[in-house]
Amino acid sequence: MKKNGGMTKASSRLYQDGPPTLTLPLEGGGMGGGGYVKGFFVGALLIGLVLTLGTLSATLALTEEETKRAEALIPLLDGEQEFWAIGEFVHIGPQALPVLAKALQHPTRRIRMNAIETMFMIKDKAAVPILNAVAANEQEIPAVREKALRVAVRLDPAHALPALQAMAKDPSETIRNAVVSESRFVKDKGVIDLLITLLADDSPSVADGAFRTLWSFTGRLVERQDFIQSTKEERVEWAKDWARWWAANGDRYQFAPDRSSGPPRS
């Protein structure tokens, strides 16, 4: 389809009488309630995202009319036209990121998930700070946070370490498990330090995930270190053992090709 001021002719015809009004309720909705406090938090996060997007070149900005048309696509990210709406955003390209950032505030979970998926399909690293903000937002549901982290790591693994470090301290076990899983794609020695710390996690599953990622990087296997069946005291001692090994070997360590299978059970 031919472009029409940054949008397709199809979208121009669809919204020729002006875009529908999009109202974002601040109470209830797909994010699980929270009333005016939640509304204040969401507003503050949106301001942060807008400031982040200020780094985008002015030449990439949509016109006011194009922005309104793009915003009218947001509610269509959930429903029969969601694939078409995603395609329209991808057609617009990186210029759509400020509008997709707004979509991440929508109360409908599927709209937020599809906004993240669309950012991945656009494949512009300018989306990463937005995604990191969503991933670090403890008010957001775990499924959306996990997806935001996963896409941020895929788009820019070289700069994923600060987000992983911050989320490793999250009270949610689900999020900490996501951290050890996504760390597999980040070839940074700082990730080794982070994973060694997580070997002493309160959750055996997080510790086991950290060990498996460490094994995929280093090939190191220590007899009788079974993190799934371990106590907290054992995990703390084993983490100290790994820390001593890393202190002795870290300077000369080089990342090797990924191992295709997991470590054998101790």
For residue 193, the enclosing domain spans 188-266
24 and 147 share a domain?
yes
Question: Do 150 and 197 belong to one domain?
Answer: no
- Higher-scoring residue by pLDDT: 211, 52: 211
Q: What is the pLDDT of residue 184?
A: 93
Mean pLDDT, the chain, integer: 82
CB 229 within 8 A of CB 213: no
Say yes or no: 82 and 203 in one domain: no
Domain count across the chain: 2
Residue 170 resides in a domain? no
- CA-based Rg of the chain, rounded to a whole angstrom? 22
Q: Which residue has the higher pLDDT, 139 or 51?
A: 139
Percent of the chain with pLDDT over 90: 68
What's the confidence (pLDDT) of residue 256?
74
Which comes out higher in pLDDT, residue 1 or 87?
87
Decide if 166 is inside a domain: no
The predicted structure's pLDDT at residue 200: 97
Structural domain contains residue 177: no
Both 204 and 121 in a single domain? no
What pLDDT band is residue 255 in, cutting at 50, 70 and 90? confident
pLDDT over 60 (residue 182): yes
Q: Are residues 93 and 18 in the same domain?
A: yes
Q: What is the mean pLDDT of residues 99-125?
A: 97
pTM: 0.73
- Looking at the fold, whether 9 and 100 belong to one and the same domain comes out as yes
195 in the same domain as 253? yes
Q: Is residue 14 part of a domain?
A: yes
How far apart, in Å, are the Cα atoms of 75 and each of 20, 30, 34, 92, 172? 9, 14, 22, 17, 29
Among 137, 155, 173, identify where a domain stops: 155
Q: Residue 84 is inside which H or E element, if any?
A: helix 82-92
In this structure, the answer to whether residues 14 and 130 fall within a common structural domain is yes
Whether the predicted pLDDT of 18 surpasses 80: no
Residues 225 and 94 in one domain: no
Measure Cα distances from 10 to 4, 16, 69, 81 in Å.
9, 10, 11, 13
pLDDT of residue 91 exceeding 80: yes
